[in-house]
Structures are given as C-alpha cells and as structure tokens.
Amino acid sequence: MIEVRNLSKYFGSIKALDNLTLSIPKGRAVGFLGPNGAGKTTTIKILTNLIRATSGNALLNGCDVVIDPKNALGDVGAIVETPEFYPNLTPLEILSYLGSIRGMCRVDIRRRSDEVLRELKLDAWKDTRVGKFSKGMKQRLAIAQALIHEPEILILDEPTNGLDPRGMVEVREIIRMLKKQRRTVFMSSHLLFEVQETCDSAALIDHGKLLVYDSIENLGRLTKVTKIEVTSLNEVSLGIIQKIREMKNAMAVETVNPYTFLVTFEGPMEEQSELLRAIQAMGVEVKSFSPVGLPLEMLYMDLVRESR
C-alpha cells in the first residue's frame, strides 16, 4: 500500500506539491497524470527518498520513507526518471549488485536475472558493458532492476520513456501482468491511453494539487467534453458549419474535409442526440456520428484547463 498524506514541497519559493493526499490500496495499479511541472516526479522522488517533503508524510507498506527508509523501500522496485548506470558494469553485474543490496541470495539473483533479462530482450547483452547501451536498452535495464526482486510495490516514473513502439507494448504487457499478480503499481505517464490500458485507476494532479482520483471507468463518465466526428453523404457548406458553431453546447467545430467535421461538445450524453437531430435538420445527410479520442484524454484536457 502507498500512502501520501498532506504532502507539500517547496523548492525555494516555488510550491511543487500542495497538500497532496493519495492512497493506493494493495494490489491496485494507479496511473499518475498531470502536465509537465505538475508535481508527479516530485511525488515519486519523495516516495523513493530522493528528496524530502517540506511537510506531510509518505508511507510505503505503512513505513514512513523519511523515518525508516530502509524498511519502507524494502519491498519496492522503482524507476525514477531515466536512471544512468555504471558504464563499466554489465547488466548481470548491475542486477547482482542491486539484488545483493536488496537481500537476494546468489541463486535467486542468477535465476531472476535470467528471467527478467530474457523477458526484456536483453539476454543477448547481459555480459556487455552498459556504457555501450542505447537509451531504450537502458530503460529496459531500468525496468529489469525494478523487477528483479519481485517487489510488492512498483513505482514507475514514465516507464516507457525512450522505448520504441514494440518496447512500449511489451512494457505495458508486463505492467498488466503485474496487475494480475496483485502487485501495487504506481505509474506516472504522459501517455493517457497507456494509463487507460494498464491501470485500474488514475490520479490527475496539476500545480501540486490533486484534481481527481477515481477508477478509469468512473473518470470516463466524469468527462463533460466530447469530440464528435460527423461524416456526411453530401458536402457541408460553411454556412452550416457556422450555424453548428453557434449551437449552445458546441465549443468548437473543425472542418476535416468537405464531408467531415469535428465538433467539440460539452454536455451530457443525452444532449448529443439533440445535436445529431439539429445537424440533420440543417440538411446534412449524416453517414456517421461518433465520439473520437479517449475519455481520459478529454477529462485531462478539461480538468487541466479548469485548474489553470
């Protein structure tokens, strides 16, 4: 279980975290979202004892990270930013080093090193010095070191950062697998669909404040803004586009081509049918009328805009 209680952090006069409170129950995978500078990495750094909070507490499995960092981090695997590795050591040596510090015996280190390096497609490079690795390979190794000791809690700061599309898919698969194993995962990401695909819940912060924290399902319902793509059989004139723009719930209308346009719509689901009827009444022969984009993305844009 991860708990953050009334966490505040100042960097000089800049308030990075503002009384943040968050609780992640055991076995849940929670995405941590927010724009750049929102306080995501600051929160993760406090949880991993890299920086100290100005006030408040951060607890891992009930242990305060500041008071008892050794026990608090005892069952935690973490990736913070993109870590650098000692360039003269090989992946096997790095995993052996960190495994020993975390209390693994030699046999377990060997077995788990083989497993994680194979899974992360690094087994062919296990005896190559890390100094020769690309950014993507280092990110894979960062994930490997976070998993080697089979931690109960995983704190991942943008885990797919620097990976190619195939690597991203594989890492998401790994996170889904960890979720199935009832591990507690706390993952920050800029990729909203990644959070939507891999996590049970998401927490959105901005300016160091928690904006919303709920299950992905509920968050989708919370969104008030929807983007609807409308395709017509006949050409849509500029006059009609202008009329749609003037409608009560239409925030914006963008023309994609003479037959297709996008309506940014604010309002409950039931009012969308009224919009459809109104467009048809204007003489548009609607071929398709469907929401596009992710609900989480809509909510994110909505909340971040409001908070600013």
Partner 1 sequence: MIGASEGARTYRRLPGSLVQIRTIWKYELLRYLRSKRLLASVLIAVAVLGLTYALPLALGESYRGTETNIGVTVIDVGSLGIPPWELPYNSVGTLDDEGIDRGSLKLYVNGTEYPSGSTSWSIAGAEDRVPEQVSDSPTIIMFTGNVSGRLVTASYTWAMSEQDFDMKFINFASLLVIVSAALFGADALAGEYQNRTGYLILPNPLKREALFFGKFASCMTMGLVMLSILYAGVALLSVMTVDGIDDDLATSFALAVEYLLAAMAVAFLVSSIMNGTTGATVFTLLLFLMVMPAIDGVSSLAGQRIEASLTYAASTVIYILVDPYIENSADSLGNYPDPHTAVIVMFAYALVAILIGLRLFKRRQLVG
Q: Which residues bind partner 1 (CB under 8 A)?
A: 11, 45, 48-52, 69-74, 76, 78, 80-86, 88-89, 93-94, 97-98, 100-104, 108, 115-116, 119-120, 129, 142, 145, 147, 149-150, 155, 174, 177-178, 181-183
Both tokens of residue 93?
């040596």
Q: Minimum CB separation from partner 1 for residue 132, in Å?
A: 13
Q: Name which of 194, 174, 213, 179 is nearest 28 in CA terms.
A: 179
Closer to partner 1 by Cβ: residue 7 or 73: 73
Q: Are 45 and 215 in contact (CB under 8 A)?
A: no
C-alpha span between 43 and 156 (Å, rounded): 11
C-alpha span between 78 and 64 (Å, rounded): 16
Closer to partner 1 by Cβ: residue 88 or 257: 88
Q: Minimum CB separation from partner 1 for residue 88, in Å?
A: 4
Closer to partner 1 by Cβ: residue 79 or 192: 79
Q: Minimum CB separation from partner 1 for residue 136, in Å?
A: 17
Q: Minimum CB separation from partner 1 for residue 163, in Å?
A: 15
Q: Name which of 197, 262, 190 is nearest 232 in CA terms.
A: 262
Q: Minimum CB separation from partner 1 for residue 144, in Å?
A: 9
Q: Minimum CB separation from partner 1 for residue 91, in Å?
A: 12
Q: Are 296 and 192 in contact (CB under 8 A)?
A: yes
Closer to partner 1 by Cβ: residue 39 or 295: 39
SS3 188: strand
Closer to partner 1 by Cβ: residue 181 or 273: 181
List Cβ neighbours of 113 (8 Å cut-off, separation of 6 or more): 91, 92, 95, 96, 99, 126, 144, 148
C-alpha span between 123 and 145 (Å, rounded): 14
Q: Name which of 15, 57, 64 is nearest 37 in CA terms.
A: 15
Closer to partner 1 by Cβ: residue 145 or 160: 145
**Quick one: angle between helices 135-147 and 106-119, nearest 10?**
140
Closer to partner 1 by Cβ: residue 110 or 243: 110
Q: Minimum CB separation from partner 1 for residue 21, in Å?
A: 22
> Could you give the strand order of the β-sheet that contains 250-257, starting from the edge strand earlier in sequence?
250-257, 260-266, 225-232, 286-292
